Structure 1
Amino acid sequence: MHVVGSLNRGGAETVSLDICRAVPADEAHQTFVTLAGWTGSLADDFRATGAAVEQCPVSPRGFFAYRIWRRLRALRPDVVVAHVSLAGAVVLLAARLCGVPVRVSRMWSEGDGMPDSPPRRLQRALLRWLLARTATDVLGVTLASLRFAGDRPTDPRYRVLYNTVDTRRIAGGDREAARRRWNLPNDVPVLGYLGRAAPEKNRAFLVDVHRAARRHDPGARLLVAGPGGADDLRAADPAIGADPRVTLAGEVDEIGSLLAAVDVLLLPSHREGLPGVLLEALAAGVPVVANDLPCLREMVGLVDGLTLVPLAAGADAWARAALDRAGTDAASRDHLRRALNASPFTLDTAVRQWRALWRVDRTSAEEHRSPVPHQEKTA
């Protein structure tokens, strides 16, 4: 049983869907329980894998613990995975009271995006205390996200299990066909972005970077895809929808086509975990320019093709870095593809680790501890 906010398109949801497709339902039946009050745009995709999708809205909050306890009593799962940051401690408490033997907290981000007020700090401290007493495993997508769950370097339950990507979803993109698909010329640099409209994603900064890029190369294009509309971009530039040098693609399924069309991917987020789109871009041979976040500093030593530029450096510095990486030659792009395919960030690695964690494979007790120990930085 997975407890999630919703199944709208995003990095965590895409990774979970990849794993659902890779692990047959007759080996591990997965049920996704959403808390948002709706299931999400990917719910049918999850159901198509054989997974079940149900709702247990978090509101009204005063009765949520009782309602999730009743849902657990009804489903009687062998494993519960909470994907809802520190709030997952409440879910895992209910799971412990129901006798669920494997209780996993999956930490997807290095923060929660909430103000750092005294009441919020107290709440986080209480949830971390509860998490340490209810979880059998606390798995961060990076060390930075793991530390947000509580800095417990000697506790073997607290470990890193990196995000992965199903490279088969990305492979085979044809640049010329993709450029035609998105109505982009072949002879101009295309700066790309793939991600939902949310404050922490800082998509408005893309408008400034594109303006700065055009000062250096007037032909530079911007291609933005992701769910949630474009109000954040229009707030930065009300005329952006009419700009012929900007393509607003909206929510797309054709990730391979989109990545084949761009020369460089931009990630100006204020906070992240381990963004799946980073791995998707590198699997497609697309270099990435990203904000200098703790979780991404960790990734610099583990993947090729990632360049970090702090937001404080300004849009012009980002534009120069983006245009420079956009000029990456074909041989170097092929190296990025091969390096990612040979890395531990591929789906097969994740499937082995999750199967061991869920105890689908019971042949090796050591495999249950296969995610990276807290103190290490390599996969």
Structure 2
Amino acid sequence: MTLPEKSGPTVAHILGSVDRGGVEMRMLEVARALPANGPKLTMVTLTGREGSLAADYRAAGAEIVPIRLSSPWFALKFVAFLRANRIKVVHSHVHLASGFILALATLGGARVRIANFSSDGRPRAEQSLPARAKYAVMRWLLNLFATDIIGISPSTLTVAWKENWRDDPRCRVLMTGFDLDKFSSTGTAHIRDELGIASADPLVLHIGRADIPTKNRDGAIRFFGEYAIANPKGALVFVGRDGADASQSAINRSRWLSLTEQLGVTHRVHFAGERIDVPDLLASADLLLFTSTLEGLPGVLVEARAAGTPVIASDVAGAVHLAKHVEGIQLLSLEYATSVWADAIGDALEDRPTPETRELALRKLRGSELDIDVAVSHFRGLWRT
């Protein structure tokens, strides 16, 4: 399997697929921001399928190479692929399985071998004795073969790797950047028209794939429902797919509708599904409500602030880390009473964003660690390209 000729060195990124998700979207923006004569990205997908973002990656100049991990010939195929294409940089995003990947990358001749952690959670499988033994081997391999160990926030390295990661010179925190130019448009009146929400009514957004239970849509509905008791106007809009498939989506939607009926807000809660116009949605919103129970580095908080939209967020470690770098993020514990969240929503919506405050928020992010141009320079240093 030989890749087309490229003008720059190839960096192989290892992912399950390139479906829409946090890591996948951020690396797509990196691919778009790389110069024509710079490194070229190849996304090796371990599920054996490409993913919904494959066409976008190709348009950005990247390649998609499915090599199924469950194949009995995976190791041979992967090593042969690296050697045939003389790939010297392997950047793996598959948690502790990166240990196995980077061991093979060494056999394949890669000189730069990066393990990138993006989640604060441990795999559920690690709870069983056989799985703990397997992950112990993966940790040993990762420690042996990784040249660099990256986390998108301090907590991802603490939880996923080890508490004393700061003592390891290979470890560092590297936040992925955002294409801030996408958030400079203000032509968003059509969004409210489409959703049937008057311009005078507050619009609260919740963004996240509901097939990931930690996104906690139920909590968002409860908090908004409490807010709605004293506030007859305003709508809550969910953005993101409702489930991994049609069956799960139907089950989830039924549960949410039942909850909205109990709270008397069914007519005020909208399900917009998976969207590609998130910048316009955020520019139309008055508040982003983030209720996740677990998140490595919630990029949607940065996107909201780039659009000048205030944020109320659960105080998960990734959000706490971002709040140190980005203004306009209010943190609340999920253990607080529902009324505390409702009051915070009400207070935030009393001072709705204006074009001037939106532009100021965007300006403050430019040139920061979260600006895509700054992030790309960091990645190129990491890849030695």
Q: TM-score range by the shorter chain?
A: 0.7 to 0.9
Give the structure 2 partner of residue 135 of structure 1. 146
SS of aligned partner of 1:76: coil
**Pair 1:57-2:77 in alignment:** no
Amino acid at match of 1:287: P
Shift of 1:239: 7.9
Return 174-183 or 43-52, whichever deviates more.
174-183
Distance 1:285 1:90, change over 3 A: same
Give the structure 2 partner of residue 293 of structure 1. 316
Contact 1:191 1:220 in 2 (8 A): yes
Give the structure 2 partner of residue 365 of structure 1. none
Shift of 1:334: 4.1
Where structure 1 has 5 or more consecutive residues not aligned to the other structure, the ranges are 361-379
Amino acid at match of 2:21: G
Return 282-291 or 333-342, whichever deviates more.
333-342
Return 319-328 or 206-215, whichever deviates more.
319-328
Contact 2:42 2:63 in 1 (8 A): yes
Q: How does 1:4-83 map to 2 (within 5 A)?
A: 4-24=15-35, 26-60=37-71, 64-83=74-93
SS of aligned partner of 1:153: helix
Amino acid at match of 1:352: S
Percent identical pairs in the alignment equals 35
Structure 2: how far apart are the matches of 1:25 and 1:135? 28
Distance 1:240 1:173, change over 3 A: farther
Q: TM-score, normalised by structure 1?
A: 0.87
**Pair 1:201-2:224 in alignment:** no
Amino acid at match of 1:270: T
Give the structure 1 partner of residue 349 of structure 2. 326
**Pair 1:350-2:363 in alignment:** no
Alignment partner of 1:245 out of 255, 262, 268: 268
Contact 2:14 2:46 in 1 (8 A): yes
Distance 1:228 1:95, change over 3 A: farther
Shift of 1:321: 1.7
Where structure 2 has 5 or more consecutive residues not aligned to the other structure, the ranges are 1-11, 244-248
Return 66-75 or 148-157, whichever deviates more.
66-75
**Pair 1:225-2:245 in alignment:** no
Shift of 1:66: 4.2
**Pair 1:107-2:120 in alignment:** no
Contact 1:291 1:310 in 2 (8 A): yes
Alignment partner of 1:150 out of 136, 156, 162: 162
Distance 1:323 1:128, change over 3 A: farther
Contact 1:108 1:274 in 2 (8 A): yes
Structure 1: how far apart are the matches of 2:348 and 2:137? 44
Q: TM-score, normalised by structure 2?
A: 0.86
Q: Give CA-to-partner distance per residue, 1:153-192, whole Å, 9 cap, x none.
A: 1212100001221111222133534322432111222110
SS of aligned partner of 2:167: coil
**Pair 1:312-2:335 in alignment:** yes
**Pair 1:98-2:108 in alignment:** yes
Aligned Cα root-mean-square deviation (Å): 2.3
SS of aligned partner of 2:302: helix
Contact 1:169 1:255 in 2 (8 A): no
Structure 1: how far apart are the matches of 2:189 and 2:154? 39
Alignment partner of 1:283 out of 306, 311, 321: 306
**Pair 1:183-2:196 in alignment:** yes
SS of aligned partner of 1:106: strand
Structure 2: how far apart are the matches of 1:49 and 1:79? 19
SS of aligned partner of 1:312: coil
Shift of 1:122: 4.3
Distance 1:300 1:221, change over 3 A: same
Q: Give CA-to-partner distance per residue, 1:328-356, whole Å, 9 cap, x none.
A: 34355444222222422110111111122
Q: Give CA-to-partner distance per residue, 1:17-55, whole Å, 9 cap, x none.
A: 111111145421211111123211100000111211011
Contact 1:139 1:146 in 2 (8 A): yes
Structure 2: how far apart are the matches of 1:325 and 1:37? 45
Shift of 1:238: 4.0
Structure 1: how far apart are the matches of 2:97 and 2:13? 14
Distance 1:353 1:50, change over 3 A: same
Structure 2: how far apart are the matches of 1:113 and 1:191? 32
SS of aligned partner of 1:172: coil
Contact 2:368 2:374 in 1 (8 A): no
Q: Give CA-to-partner distance per residue, 1:237-282, whole Å, 9 cap, x none.
A: 2486993312211111111211012111122112111122111101
Distance 1:80 1:174, change over 3 A: same
**Pair 1:255-2:275 in alignment:** no
